[in-house]
Amino acid sequence: MKKLLKDSNFYFFVALAVIVVLFISSSQTYEQQSQVGLLSRLLKSEPFKEGLSGISFSYAGSEVSIAAKGYFSFVEFFIRKGAHFFTYFLLSGSLFFVLVYRRIPFWLAAFFAWLAATGYAGIDEFHQMLTGGRTPLFQDVMLDSAGAATAVLISWLWCVWRKKKRK
């Protein structure tokens, strides 16, 4: 397993798998992706509703709150945005290790991994624009870019720490 984690091809295939999942996801309408029905079954008792009811903010010009969206759509909003952050975190982190294990300097690997993930986020939102029932959002690209930047920062720090540990 240790050898696999030091193979740039492994990270390349992880990045490729993330891209395929993102492409398929962007090809689906909101209704095809909606998890509100599942959430209404799993969270029937609406846990933490009272505490969450005090949360209200604007995202892409729309109010996000239980009052505006309903409990299950409100919870789904955070799941969806978490998925945005995490998938681009995974994509960027994988691309970073592809480059680092091919002996590209950390700073250059970080820049290109972040740039590629952010660029793909923009392309993915454009793809959503071509899909019926989807709304491309610049705010989602920014969220995706933040996930990518977080992965690059953590990965870079981990590599620097490992390098110092070996000395």
pLDDT in tens, 50-59: 999 999 999 9
Query: Looking at residue 149, what is its pLDDT?
Result: 98
Instruction: Return d(Cα 32, Cα 37) in angstroms, integer.
Output: 11
Predicted confidence (pLDDT) per residue in 88-136, tens digit: 999 999 999 999 999 999 999 999 999 999 999 999 999 999 988 888 9
Query: Looking at residue 8, what is its pLDDT?
Result: 87
Is the Cβ–Cβ distance between 84 and 147 less than 8 Å?
A: yes
Instruction: Return d(Cα 136, Cα 24) in angstroms, integer.
Output: 15
Q: Which residue has the higher pLDDT, 8 or 94?
A: 94
Percent of all residues in the chain with a pLDDT value above 90, rounded to a whole number: 82
Q: Could you tell me which of 156, 26, 140 has the C-alpha nearest to residue 95?
A: 156
Token pair for 34: 């909606």
Q: Which residue has the higher pLDDT, 134 or 167?
A: 134
Question: What pTM value is reported for the model?
Answer: 0.91
pLDDT over 80 (residue 2)? no
**1-5, 45-49, 161-165: the lowest-pLDDT one:** 1-5
Q: What is the CA radius of gyration of the chain?
A: 19
